[in-house]
Amino acid sequence: MTDSEKLYSIINDLTGEDLTGKGDTNLFDTGLLDSMATVQLLLEIETEIGVEVPVSEFERTEWETPNKIIAKIGTLK
Protein backbone atom coordinates (compact mmCIF):
# COMPACT_ATOMS: atom_id res chain seq x y z
CA MET A 1 0.00 0.00 0.00
CA THR A 2 1.40 3.41 -0.96
CA ASP A 3 1.65 6.35 1.43
CA SER A 4 -1.16 8.02 -0.50
CA GLU A 5 -3.44 4.99 -0.10
CA LYS A 6 -2.58 4.80 3.59
CA LEU A 7 -3.40 8.49 4.03
CA TYR A 8 -6.78 8.16 2.35
CA SER A 9 -7.52 5.14 4.54
CA ILE A 10 -6.60 7.13 7.67
CA ILE A 11 -8.80 10.06 6.60
CA ASN A 12 -11.67 7.68 5.86
CA ASP A 13 -11.31 6.05 9.28
CA LEU A 14 -11.21 9.44 11.07
CA THR A 15 -13.96 11.21 9.17
CA GLY A 16 -16.13 8.49 7.66
CA GLU A 17 -15.61 10.15 4.26
CA ASP A 18 -13.96 8.50 1.27
CA LEU A 19 -11.99 11.32 -0.34
CA THR A 20 -10.18 9.14 -2.87
CA GLY A 21 -9.93 11.24 -6.03
CA LYS A 22 -10.83 14.38 -4.10
CA GLY A 23 -7.32 15.40 -3.11
CA ASP A 24 -8.02 19.13 -3.09
CA THR A 25 -10.82 18.92 -0.52
CA ASN A 26 -10.10 21.32 2.34
CA LEU A 27 -10.39 19.16 5.44
CA PHE A 28 -10.78 22.08 7.81
CA ASP A 29 -13.18 24.28 5.81
CA THR A 30 -15.48 21.30 5.23
CA GLY A 31 -15.49 20.48 8.95
CA LEU A 32 -13.98 17.03 8.39
CA LEU A 33 -11.08 17.81 10.71
CA ASP A 34 -11.07 19.76 13.95
CA SER A 35 -8.23 20.15 16.45
CA MET A 36 -8.77 16.75 18.09
CA ALA A 37 -9.07 14.94 14.76
CA THR A 38 -5.93 16.71 13.55
CA VAL A 39 -3.91 15.34 16.46
CA GLN A 40 -5.31 11.88 15.76
CA LEU A 41 -4.41 12.28 12.07
CA LEU A 42 -0.81 13.14 12.96
CA LEU A 43 -0.58 10.15 15.31
CA GLU A 44 -1.97 7.82 12.65
CA ILE A 45 0.45 9.19 10.04
CA GLU A 46 3.30 8.45 12.44
CA THR A 47 2.03 4.93 13.15
CA GLU A 48 0.88 3.88 9.69
CA ILE A 49 3.31 5.78 7.44
CA GLY A 50 6.29 6.17 9.75
CA VAL A 51 6.59 9.95 9.54
CA GLU A 52 6.82 11.90 12.79
CA VAL A 53 5.18 15.32 12.75
CA PRO A 54 5.72 17.35 15.91
CA VAL A 55 2.54 19.30 16.69
CA SER A 56 4.74 22.36 17.31
CA GLU A 57 5.78 22.28 13.63
CA PHE A 58 2.25 21.79 12.29
CA GLU A 59 1.23 24.58 9.91
CA ARG A 60 -2.46 24.25 9.04
CA THR A 61 -2.12 25.67 5.52
CA GLU A 62 0.41 22.93 4.67
CA TRP A 63 -1.96 20.18 5.86
CA GLU A 64 -5.40 21.37 4.72
CA THR A 65 -5.95 18.98 1.79
CA PRO A 66 -5.00 15.35 1.16
CA ASN A 67 -2.74 16.45 -1.72
CA LYS A 68 -0.88 18.88 0.55
CA ILE A 69 -0.55 16.22 3.26
CA ILE A 70 0.91 13.74 0.76
CA ALA A 71 3.40 16.37 -0.43
CA LYS A 72 4.36 17.21 3.15
CA ILE A 73 4.85 13.54 4.01
CA GLY A 74 7.18 13.30 1.03
CA THR A 75 9.34 16.12 2.36
CA LEU A 76 9.49 14.58 5.83
CA LYS A 77 10.57 11.10 4.74
CATH of the domain at 70: 1.10.1200.10
Please state the rounded mean pLDDT for residues 22-46.
95
Query: Which pLDDT score, from 0 to 100, does residue 53 have?
Result: 84
Query: Which pLDDT score, from 0 to 100, does residue 77 have?
Result: 85
Scanning the chain, the segments in alpha helix (DSSP H) are 3-15, 35-49, 66-76
**Domain extent for 11:** 3-76
Confidence category of residue 55, pLDDT binned at 50, 70, 90: confident
Write phi, then psi, for 28 (nearest 5 degrees): -85, -45
* Number of domains present in the structure of the chain: 1
Contact 49, 3 (CB under 8 A): yes
